């Protein structure tokens, strides 16, 4: 069966997307085609919370990385999935990406499973601040660092390696002085329960699952493929490498996402 047939035969698709959707937009993937890390793993929640030095390193890299990450634009994969929603085929789109490019392309039935990088969250008072405004504050306090450049990393930071991040100033919350964290789920941190429950509620209404650009190596996404299989739903996947759910798939396309979905545009 072709992907086109698969989509035409089903009417309430539960769609899960991952990094492979956003790589053509200039946001690199963490993993190679075998599903292994291709770079040093991202910061963990425990490391971020545990040490000021880790937060200095994180925000210094983020200051440099955000300039490009914040300007990323949707590509054909995002546009094709927005077109699929416009056809009334989308029960829900759950994305593991934190770049908001599905929304930028016009999708609205979206759950940002791992949060969104365009907001900064205060862990003291839960105030959210746009990342763009915070960028100006970071740059103002760290003019030397703001002049640096480096390659992008997938979570919006940059491959910036300095011997010493201790001169980097990390502002606290303007309202309460609390610790600021990007409004994303870090490795080692749980996805908020209401987000997971909302996804499961929609999965229960779905008649098929479509996985786009994810190896499902992270359990927070893999569990939905397991649940879909338990429900007896057919599952199609587009991913350039192997996925953790390969044995559960009805069809599998090892092609770039935008190319595989181009028939929708
Ligand atoms: Zn606060």
Confidence of residue 50 (pLDDT cuts 50, 70, 90): very high
Catalytic residues: 114
Q: In what order do the strands lie in the sheet with 208-212?
A: 110-112, 90-95, 13-17, 208-212, 235-238, 251-253
Round to whole Å and give the CA distance between 260 and 240. Answer: 11
Per-residue pLDDT, averaged over 69-93, amounts to 97
pLDDT at residue 160 is higher than 70:
no
> Worst-scoring range by mean pLDDT, 25-39, 139-153, 167-181?
25-39
Do you know the residue count of the chain? 265
Q: Say how many Å lie between the CA of residue 192 and the centre of ligand 1.
A: 19
Per-residue pLDDT, averaged over 245-257, amounts to 96
**What pLDDT is recorded for position 155?**
55
> Worst-scoring range by mean pLDDT, 66-70, 213-217, 238-242?
66-70
Contacts of 193 (CB under 8 A, 6+ apart): none
Q: How far is CA 43 from CA 1, 51, 95, 127, 256, in A?
A: 41, 12, 20, 22, 28
Q: Say how many Å lie between the CA of residue 131 and the centre of ligand 1.
A: 15
- More confident position, 197 or 32: 197
Instruction: Give the three-state DSSP class for 59.
Output: helix
Task: Kindly provide the b/e burial profile for residues 27-43, where b requires at least 16 CB atoms within 10 angstroms of the residue's own CB.
Answer: bebbbeeeeeeeeeebb
Contacts of 4 (CB under 8 A, 6+ apart): 263
- pTM listed for this prediction: 0.91
**What pLDDT is recorded for position 75?**
98
pLDDT at residue 154 is higher than 60:
no
**What pLDDT is recorded for position 64?**
85
259-262: list long-range contacts, CB under 8 Å, 24+ apart: 259/76, 260/3, 261/3, 261/76, 261/77, 261/80, 261/81, 261/84, 261/212, 262/76, 262/80
Q: Say how many Å lie between the CA of residue 119 and the centre of ligand 1.
A: 13
pLDDT at residue 68 is higher than 90:
no
């Amino acid at each position: 069966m072709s992907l086109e047939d698969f989509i035409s035969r089903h009417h309430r698709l539960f769609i899960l997307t991952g990094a492979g959707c956003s790589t053509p937009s200039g946001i690199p993937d963490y993993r190679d085609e075998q599903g292994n890390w291709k770079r040093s793993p991202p910061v963990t929640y425990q490391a971020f919370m545990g040490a000021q030095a880790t937060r200095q390193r994180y925000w210094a890299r983020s200051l440099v990385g955000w300039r490009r990450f914040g300007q990323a634009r949707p590509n054909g994969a995002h546009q094709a999935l927005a077109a699929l929603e416009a056809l009334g085929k989308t029960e829900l789109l759950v994305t593991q990406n934190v770049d908001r490019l599905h929304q930028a392309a016009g999708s609205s039935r979206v759950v940002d499973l791992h949060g969104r990088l365009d907001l900064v969250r205060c862990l003291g008072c839960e105030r959210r601040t746009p990342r763009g405004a915070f960028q100006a504050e970071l740059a103002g306090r760290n003019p030397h660092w703001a002049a640096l450049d480096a390659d992008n990393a997938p979570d919006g930071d940059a491959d910036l390696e300095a011997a010493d991040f201790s001169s980097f100033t990390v502002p606290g919350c303007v309202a309460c002085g609390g610790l600021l964290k990007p409004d994303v789920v870090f490795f080692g941190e749980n996805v908020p329960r209401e987000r997971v429950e909302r996804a499961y509620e929609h999965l229960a209404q779905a008649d098929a699952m479509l996985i786009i650009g994810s190896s499902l190596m992270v359990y927070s996404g893999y569990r939905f493929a397991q649940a879909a299989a338990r429900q007896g739903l057919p599952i199609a996947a587009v991913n350039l490498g192997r996925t953790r759910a390969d044995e559960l798939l009805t069809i599998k396309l090892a092609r770039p996402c935008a190319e595989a979905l181009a028939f929708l545009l």
